[in-house]
Structure 1
């Protein structure tokens, strides 16, 4: 299957990074969001990102040439021209299912529908479509243009053809695919988010301060960023959502979210995107 046009749903941080990566690889991209202003800001964000990379000599062509391959649309019907659509909206299973169900009606039968979910079951997402064999997970890492890993998640229905096409596409992006079964959290978040949650427990129990916990992991475990600063970068609401998926998916108390994490999310302290989390970014 020849893939030349990619649809990306969601002009948030992840969606913009995914769109930029596909456009940089020479593919046409249709970037969708219900908010026209978000799309305009998104294109500016991508252009600024490209210009920074260009100034460091990391692009093969001009920023303008790359961004010219990205068109925007506020209607999902624009995805009818795409051979691969990557859904990259917030971690809300009902919303993701609604989008995939609509795409199933809009897109040609051979279009691959992928989700950038970080923890939600691909099997459950696939069941709302009439093409479960062409539904797959493509979990990009943040920041997408810089991070090499893409988790490729298959469910019981995902066809070998779909899997091979996506692996080939990840390689074309000069990223590294890692295959994972459809289990809660997949690989990275099953390991990473419980570690972050344990760091929150360590803080909540008064074992050490936030800065001391992060320094200990940076200096003692050679982590480039401490777990609490990383949680702020990811978003505490996203961390909590993933922990809840793990807790419900495995029915194991070791995945219970720390009460402090819940309290902070309820208080609107979400990390960098809100200006304050475990650290102050105001």
Structure 2
């Protein structure tokens, strides 16, 4: 039982909430039973440490059994230790550290993707994580973080994916120019999501083709010079009285429209 919140090991785990520590160690935090279960199921080789409170272990016996069968020790910790290590205000009693596993553009393109989401200067962790989750749900092949987008392994991003970060490849630290060159190099069309574009229902006839969607910054969208790099600029029309649409919601609509067209 680890019960000292000030121990060096506990502090080292807590530091993973900061990007510098993640960059130095190559590790990231995975919180909650659902996300940890996805890590065990899809990438158990990445899981380094698994911590659970006594109460959480009693509630999630199947998770404990899966970890044990995978050869991973479940370390019991006190509530105060778990709270110190976790990034959330009210942690669920389950926390793991995993090795980061970013993909390169070359690796992504080698799989001949048909649907890709490119996040350019997306700063909000919740939006980024939700887009990864939506891309996973829509059957997309990859997500690419470009520019100064949030770190894909930020704890809030990881939580917002609810485990989807373990389901599809993610690349980051890539320039938009390099990402566009890569997707175009394998014959994908580039569609930019922006309020200046054509209404999405009017371009459904082109959505069956392999497509890379570009989604811009939450506040500023995509500048004109970047919009000109796209083959088409498309917007999700607003039929009601809402002033605007959340980025992650709009991205989900775009990705699913492509998924519907490609599977029809």
TM-score normalised by length of structure 1 = 0.31
TM-score normalised by length of structure 2 = 0.33
Structure with higher strand content: 2
Structure with higher helix content: 1
